[in-house]
Amino acid sequence: MENKYKSPIKKLLKVFEIGREQWKAKTLKAKYDLKIERNRVKFLETSKAAIKQENKELKDAQQKLEHELKMLKLELANNEERKKKLQEK
């Protein structure tokens, strides 16, 4: 077997092992970081959906209360008209 490197094979093996271990560590870190980011995205999407649902519920409640306020104002106006009519008689 012909050696195309000038350095002794024993030293090359050590250098290649170190390179491989560094590559493995970098790859594992990238996989871990990707997993963390995927979990973060999943959490944010779930949170966003919950916030949207709560926002919809609050808007519905606001509309209901605005309608109720409008009805109470009409009732108050009607009561005031009746009171005036009764006072005129």
pLDDT by 10s per residue, the chain, length 89:
566 778 888 898 999 999 999 999 999 999 999 999 999 999 999 999 999 999 999 999 999 999 999 999 999 999 999 988 888 86
Contact 41, 48 (CB under 8 A): no
Residues ≥6 apart with Cβ < 8 Å to 5: 12
